[in-house]
Amino acid sequence: MTSPIRTERHGDVLVIVSNNPPVNALGAAVRQGLAAAIAEGAADPGVAAMVIRCDGRTFFAGADIKEFGTPPVEPSLPSVIDAIEASDKPVVAAIHGTALGGGCEVALGCHYRVAVRSAKIGTPEVKLGLLPGAGGTQRLPRIAGVKLALEMTAKGDPITAARALDAGLIDIIVGEDSLEADAIAFARDIAARRPLPRASQKTATADPDAVAAFRKDNARRFRGFDAPAATIACIEKASDGSSFAEGVAFERQQFLKLMGGTQSAAQRHLFFAERQAAKIDGIAPNIALRPIRHVGVIGAGTMGGGISMNFLSAGIPVTIVEMQQDALDRGTGVIRKNYEASVAKGRLKPEQVEAAMHLLTPTLDFSALADCDLVIEAVYENMDVKKEIFGRLDALSKSSAILASNTSYLDVDEIAASTGRPQDVVGMHFFSPANVMKLLEVVRGEKTAEDVLATVMALAKTIGKVAVVAGVTFGFIGNRMLRQRQTEAAKLLLEGASPEQIDKVHTDFGMPMGPFQMADLAGVDIGWHRDPTRIENIREALAAEGRWGQKTKAGFYDYDDTRKATPSPRVAAIIDEWRAKTATPQRTITDQEI
């Protein structure tokens, strides 16, 4: 079997190259090859320095997670990285694409690091319920400082090469098309420098108050998860005066504890499940996709506005259509307000907001949708209204257009039957708030064309969604599961529980929010029939009073300008009215029962 690692001599520089597509995962064969190549360079008196680089689209993008839970195969990644760092000849990491997880740790073990400007570096293990387990929590703070190490390891988001350069994580940025040549030249320049900069011999210092502030600032984000807490503890160990060996031993202990836990098992299962969901049964992976250059959205309400933001943020022009000018103005105003909130939080720059808004065309003219490649209907849940809209789209839209409904419950096949082109109709069910929630249900109708389905699934990735194909069934996937919880939660309200008690039980259990908090976030009016004369339950009573959730500062809770929730006396009164109206016997309901 050919090794995925090869060596190339460039004068006095040995270039060690990995070719393990698609992402140069650090599997056993790669580790074995790396260890052998480092030993080769160390033993050759003609080699003054070494460069590690990767073929393909990326540097090592992480460990081979298929090996998780299997018997270990030597050499281990920590031992390979230790050998790299222990080399008495300088080793330079030449980074392109992404250096993630174990790939980042390999780079940290090298004495120097160079990267192209488009490269990203990160330690996303926390998203699998783990932490960097090959010395990363000990080397990173020693090289780049505790503050950045906390951000990278406990949150798991990668950083740009420019930021890595500022932090001292990489030494220089090199040309996109000259990575190898520039890395070799750099290796020659530093070949004679001594002592070699080894992360294990550096020290890291931390401000205890800053670490405490980091914990506090991210308490909500980290709540219920073991990995962030363990990661922070490892970073603290790196900066509390402990030796490198003591820190690595502590890191290993924490890593193995997480690896054997149920949380990491669940998060790894989710990782593979999301990848599997992206595959479409029965459709060739190389099927030709329809070009999507311009998207139309019908409805500028909560869903329409959020859906539009996904495409605007991806640089895709959007035409949004409403029936009334005030609704159109209100919807576009909310889009801008949401973007400006991201600016206030430091997530966007003002010029990015203006660029996104420049791509938005609000109009009352339905015919403006004629040239759109994809039109998404996002009006309220009424079959007759949706069928009327799709009939108009059928007559108006170009023949190559995809016609999508954002319906959360209704029959996509019945909607498609209102057109003469059911093969072009598909469901695209975004979850509210659509610009935030990652899940997108792509509903495959009986006659939906294969290229339509494949195009929408690919487009979902472009706009940062996790897409899953659903069949035409009531509630599709997510809402069909949630329906039972919503039904039981509504019964508990009538029998004596409060929204805040029910929600607290959910959050104490580890869920991000409870059913009534979720309703307020998504919109109490979502799915409401909009007939104030036909009120059949507590939720409809709230919707009829305009208590539509966070967007109206009133739902199952009352909200202030910062969206802080407080129990609502008015909601308590409405619940009491419905208890009386339904003659529901009252009883004491414990948290355990909920």
Domains along the sequence of the chain with CATH: 5-262 (3.90.226.10), 295-475 (3.40.50.720), 479-581 (1.10.1040.50)
What kind and span of H or E run contains 454?
Answer: helix 450-462
Q: Which two tokens stand for residue 315?
A: 């640089």
Q: How much is the pLDDT for 70?
A: 80
Distance CA 440, CA 437 (A): 8
Tens digit of each residue's pLDDT, the chain (594 residues) = 689 999 999 999 999 999 999 999 999 999 999 999 999 999 999 999 999 999 999 999 988 877 877 888 899 999 999 999 999 999 999 999 999 999 999 999 999 999 999 999 999 999 999 999 999 999 999 999 999 999 999 999 999 999 999 999 999 999 999 999 999 999 999 999 999 999 999 999 888 888 999 999 999 889 889 999 999 999 999 999 999 999 999 999 999 999 999 999 999 999 889 888 888 888 888 899 999 999 999 999 989 999 999 999 999 999 999 999 999 999 999 999 999 999 998 999 999 999 999 999 999 999 999 999 999 999 988 999 999 999 999 999 999 999 999 999 899 999 999 999 999 999 999 998 899 999 999 999 999 999 999 999 999 999 999 999 999 998 899 888 888 999 999 999 999 999 999 999 999 888 889 999 999 998 888 777 777 778 889 999 999 999 999 989 999 999 998 889 999 999 999 999 999 999 999 999 999 999
C-alpha–C-alpha distance, residues 477 and 416, integer Å: 20
CB 91 within 8 A of CB 7: no
Is 381 tagged catalytic? Answer: no
Do 161 and 118 meet the contact criterion of CB atoms below 8 Å apart? Answer: yes
- The residues, any chain, with a CB within 8 Å of residue 208's CB and separated by 6 or more, are none
3-state secondary structure of 502: helix
Structure tokens, 554: 């009133």
Predicted confidence at residue 217, as pLDDT, reads 92
Q: How many other CB atoms sit within 10 Å of the CB of residue 297? A: 31
CA pair distance 59, 107, nearest whole angstrom:
10
Give the pLDDT score at 27. 95
Amino acid at 125: E
Q: Active-site residue among 8, 85, 125, 322? A: 125
Identify the burial level of 564 via C-beta atoms within 10 angstroms of its C-beta, where 0-12 means exposed, 13-18 middle and 19 or more buried: exposed
Give me the pLDDT at residue 209, please.
Answer: 87
Query: What is the per-residue pLDDT for 1?
Result: 65
Which member of 67, 74, 85, 105 is catalytic? 105
Q: What are phi and psi of 6, to 5 degrees?
A: -130, 160
CA distance 247 to 185: 35
Helix (H, G, I), strand (E, B) or coil at 99: strand
Beta bridge partners of 16: 7, 52
Coil, strand or helix: which one is 320?
strand
Backbone angles phi, psi at 559, to 5 degrees: -130, 145
- How many CB atoms within 10 Å of residue 320? 27
Radius of gyration of the CA atoms of the chain, in A? 28
Degrees to nearest 5, angle at CA 21 with 42 and 8:
30
**Residue 358, token pair as written in the block:** 């420049």
Residue 105 annotated as catalytic: yes
Locus of tokens 């049964």: 281
The pair of three-digit structure tokens given for residue 408, joined into one six-digit string: 């959360």
How far is 580 from 67, CA to CA, in rounded Å?
Answer: 59
